[in-house]
Amino acid sequence: MNRILLDTNVILDLILAREPFYESTVRLFKLLLSSDNYKGYITANSITDIFYIAKKSIHYEKVRLMLIELLKYIEIVNVCKTDIKKALLSDYPDLEDALQIVCAEKIKAYAIITRDKKMKATKIKILTPTEFLGKYNILPDQEI
């Protein structure tokens, strides 16, 4: 099973139905849920970031329920002191991105799915939802 780390912005695209990214994100989640080859993961710190950002647009109770539902389908990567130290000691200029990369390495992720254009390639693939779907040769109007 290939592990896929989902960046905060991808989950926010789904929860907030942000266009023009919502459709590809929904398709990504449908693929992850139907595939025996991939499993979605998210870092523990992303949950608090998602909640904080999403509750500015959606009632906090709805955000809470959406996150509870999401956790039925994806796994959480715990963040510990060692992970934070590795991120702080890395050459990566953005701490949040560095921590995502450290956590992806910790779970031996196949890829990080993000729309963050500043996240640079590491030994782990950095893909947008659309790029990931393209690896499956899934067309925008194709049923999953």
Report whether the peptide linkage leading into residue 93 is cis, meaning its omega lies within 30 degrees of zero. no
| Residue in the structure block whose two tokens are 């009632």 | 59
- pLDDT class for 137, splitting at 50, 70, 90? low
Longest dimension (CA), the chain: 44
Task: Label residue 21 exposed, middle or buried (CB < 10 Å: 0-12, 13-18, 19+).
Answer: buried
Locate the domains of the chain by residue range.
2-135
Whole-model pTM?
A: 0.90
pLDDT of 123 above 60: yes
pLDDT tens profile 66-80? 999 999 999 999 999
CATH superfamily, domain 2-135, is 5'-nuclease (3.40.50.1010)
